[in-house]
Chains A and B, each alone.
Chain A
Amino acid sequence: MSKKNKLDYTIFIIFSTFVILSFVLKFDQGIQVGKNFMLFAWDMIKILPPAFILIGLFEVWVKRETIEKNFGHTSGLKKYIWSILLAATTVGGTFVAFPVAHSLYQKGANFSAIFTYVSAASLLMIPMTIMEASILGLKFTLIRLGVSLPLVVFSAILLGNYLEKIKYDLPTKE
């Protein structure tokens, strides 16, 4: 176990102790923190294992050329459409999008494609978008997506070009 992991788990143990003590001592805010933690932890427990299995299968099956052709330098504007479509169907939003983006990059996707993907994944989960339209109105949803998606692609291109210029590389993970 790495040093960083050890530190993280130590933080987790301290946090757990705090929550348990809060329950014993009936410290309301501590109890609320514990409940919040469980709510989100349950979500992650449901989403992360299948998501990582799919990432693992992606890494062994998908050919590098396929990703380069559709998400890489040679693919032109097509890569942004693919990135947005992939984002719309990514369950779990950015929590899942970060590792997926990393794997895409390792397989030959370029920066602007993965940044489009990550930002779009946070903006447009299909079930959430439907809920939004029903509560805040379709006009609201159309404004939000209509303005944001072009800006997301535009900023991803700027950011991608800059990172390439400085020869940036993503942290390596095996």
Chain B
Amino acid sequence: MEALYVVTVVALILSAIFNKQKTIKGLKIAWKKFSKILSSYIKLLILISIVLLLTDKFIIQYLGGSSQGIGLLMGLVLGSITIMPGFIAYPLAGVLVEKGVSYMVITAFITTLMMVGVVTYPVEKEYLGTKATILRNVASLIIALIIALTAGLLYGEGF
């Protein structure tokens, strides 16, 4: 995070030294783009804050308490509709391992958590368009399934 600020400040200073007009134009573009998309980000935040009501307990219960097949499915679904920062997701995954949840199910959950964004839809569709957004997320879901099955295989878990 600090790196982002360092890079931005250095870039701004260099840019201003080389060409003031261009820098101002760049800042104007930045502001225009930001103010146009801000409302979509707010919508995204609202969705996230509601989805996060799904508590750790709920997730542990649903991923842990069922057969491999259902666990896999639940992992894919819960991961797709949820979004959480890594510093929450990975410790949660650690707990799941301790509870004896299979790596296949955990992989399904973690991968879709990162790759499939149902709640990021409001922002993604503004930039990539509805069609590309849906296709990209479907492709990601399929990839997540393949990764989960591979993990299951490589960890020697029965199906």
Contacts and interface: CB of A to CB of B under 8 A. Distances in A.
B28 interface: yes
B53 A55 contact: no
Interface in B3-47: 3-5, 7-8, 11-12, 15, 22-23, 25-34, 36-37, 39-46
Interface in B68-109: 85-87, 90-91, 93-94, 97, 103, 106-107
A98 B128 contact: yes
A122 B120 CA distance: 12
A156 B132 CA distance: 11
Given A29-B53, A61-B22, A115-B136, A136 B29 contact: no
Given A8-B43, A56-B28, A135-B93, A119 B115 contact: yes
Interface residue tally on B, bucketed by range: 35 or more
A65 interface: no
Interface string A50-74: 1111111101110000000000000
Contacts of A61: 15, 22, 26
Contacts of A53: 8, 11-12, 26-27, 30
B45 A44 contact: yes
A147 to B, nearest CB: 5
Q: Is the interface of A mostly helix, strand, loop or mixed?
A: helix
B126 interface: yes
Interface in A5-36: 5, 8-9, 11-12, 15, 29, 32-34, 36
A96 to B, nearest CB: 9
Contacts of A128: 86, 90
Contacts of A44: 41, 45
A4 interface: yes
Contacts of A122: 114-115, 117, 140
B127 interface: yes
Interface in A65-109: 91-95, 98-99, 101-102
Interface of B: 1, 3-5, 7-8, 11-12, 15, 22-23, 25-34, 36-37, 39-46, 48-50, 52-53, 85-87, 90-91, 93-94, 97, 103, 106-107, 110-111, 114-115, 117, 120, 123-129, 131-132, 135-136, 139-140, 142-143, 146-147, 150-151, 154
Given A46-B1, A56-B30, 19 more contacts: A8-B39, A8-B43, A12-B39, A36-B52, A36-B53, A37-B45, A49-B34, A50-B7, A52-B31, A54-B8, A55-B29, A57-B15, A60-B22, A61-B15, A95-B123, A122-B115, A123-B111, A123-B114, A147-B146
30 contacts: A11-B43, A15-B46, A29-B53, A36-B53, A37-B45, A37-B46, A40-B49, A41-B45, A52-B34, A56-B27, A56-B30, A56-B31, A56-B33, A57-B23, A59-B29, A60-B29, A61-B15, A98-B124, A98-B127, A111-B132, A135-B94, A143-B154, A148-B143, A158-B139, A159-B135, A159-B139, A162-B135, A170-B129, A173-B37, A173-B126
